[in-house]
């Protein structure tokens, strides 16, 4: 199913046909530096594993929770989704997202966050949506503020990556 958002952007399920554009845009040290689980370099196997994971989670649960962000040329330019952090039936969940660098600062992720929050509140019965952002990630913090999230606080030394502890900010939006 294709979910239309503004800026000629839509959300769809990722398929194997999206693999070349996934590899083209996600293979970026700045994306790696600001996220927890996206590898760098991002290999063909990483792409295959991700596409299979999204397919199998949808088959198992019956719902799609990770979307490809596509532009007007039907090219994958990013990704966004729910982590199912607290289990399938919880009233709360966490979101994550990334976008290819050529498309930054055009408002795309703010629109995508707003759209998946609506889906989360209506289709997944969520009451609370969380996002945790590395404290240094000013762009993502701004996205969350623009999308109506409230800063709840700093999670000190919350993540451990590349032999360093990283502070994070927790933002939430309630229904
Ligand atoms: C974070 C990210 C998803 C933002 O996507 P985007 O589509 O560019 O976001 P938007 O255009 O909707 O909003 C970005 C906002 O941050 C602002 N911004 C950009 N760089 C900034 C900086 N260094 N300091 C402060 N604000 C900054 C922009 O000006 C814009 O705000 P504005 O509309 O008030 O001008 C994208 O930069 C990205 O993929 N980064 C790497 C991966 C990542 O950080 N993922 C999120 C992990 S929590």
* Rounded distance between C-alpha atoms, residue 143 and residue 59, angstroms: 31
Q: What is the Cα 4 distance to its own chain's centre?
A: 17
pLDDT for position 144: 98
* Rounded distance between C-alpha atoms, residue 117 and residue 102, angstroms: 25
Of 68, 79, 83, 139, the residue with max ligand 1 atoms within 8 A of its CB, to mutate for a pocket test, comes to 139
With a 6 A CB cut-off, is 104 part of the ligand 1 pocket? yes
pLDDT for position 6: 83
Taking the CA of residue 134 as reference, the ligand 1 atom at the shortest distance is 48
pLDDT for position 1: 82
Task: Say which residue the tokens 């009233």 belong to.
Answer: 91
User: What CATH class does 3-124 carry?
Assistant: alpha beta
* Rounded distance between C-alpha atoms, residue 86 and residue 130, angstroms: 11
Structure confidence by residue, pLDDT tens digits, 108-149: 999 999 999 999 999 999 999 999 999 999 999 999 999 999
Going across the sheet that includes 76-82, the strands are 3-5, 9-12, 66-70, 76-82, 92-99, 128-134, 164-174, 150-161
* Rounded distance between C-alpha atoms, residue 118 and residue 174, angstroms: 11
User: b vs e for 3-38, b when ≥16 Cβ sit within 10 Å of the residue's Cβ?
Assistant: eebeeebbbbebeeebbebbbebbbbeebbebbeeb
pLDDT for position 7: 67
Residue ID of nearest Cα to ligand 1 atom 24: 138
Residue ID of nearest Cα to ligand 1 atom 2: 140
Query: Over its length of 175 residues, how does the chain's per-residue pLDDT go in tens digits?
Result: 899 998 699 999 999 999 999 999 999 999 999 999 999 999 999 999 999 999 999 999 999 999 999 999 999 999 999 999 999 999 999 999 999 999 999 999 999 999 999 999 999 999 999 999 999 999 999 999 999 999 999 999 999 999 999 999 999 999 9
pLDDT for position 101: 98
Residue ID of nearest Cα to ligand 1 atom 19: 139
Is pTM, for the whole model, over 0.95?
A: yes
Q: Supply 16's token pair.
A: 């194997």
Which of 101, 61, 65 minimizes the C-alpha distance to 80?
65
Alpha helix (H) ranges present in the chain?
19-26, 29-34, 44-61, 108-122, 138-146
């Amino acid at each position: 199913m294709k979910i239309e958002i503004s800026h000629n952007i839509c959300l769809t399920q990722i398929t194997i046909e999206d693999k070349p554009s996934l590899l083209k845009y996600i293979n970026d040290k700045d994306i790696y530096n600001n996220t927890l689980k996206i590898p760098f370099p991002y290999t063909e196997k990483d792409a295959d594993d991700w596409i299979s994971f999204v397919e199998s989670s949808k088959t198992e649960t019956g719902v799609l929770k990770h979307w490809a962000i596509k532009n007007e040329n039907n090219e994958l330019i990013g990704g966004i989704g729910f982590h199912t952090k607290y289990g399938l039936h919880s009233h709360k969940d966490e979101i994550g997202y990334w976008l290819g660098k050529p498309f930054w600062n055009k408002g795309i992720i703010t629109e995508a966050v707003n759209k998946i929050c609506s889906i989360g509140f209506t289709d997944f019965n969520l009451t609370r949506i969380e996002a945790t952002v590395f404290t240094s990630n000013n762009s993502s913090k701004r996205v969350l503020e623009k999308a109506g999230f409230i800063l709840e606080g700093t999670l000190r030394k919350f993540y451990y990556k590349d032999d360093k502890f990283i502070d994070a900010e927790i933002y939430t939006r309630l229904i």
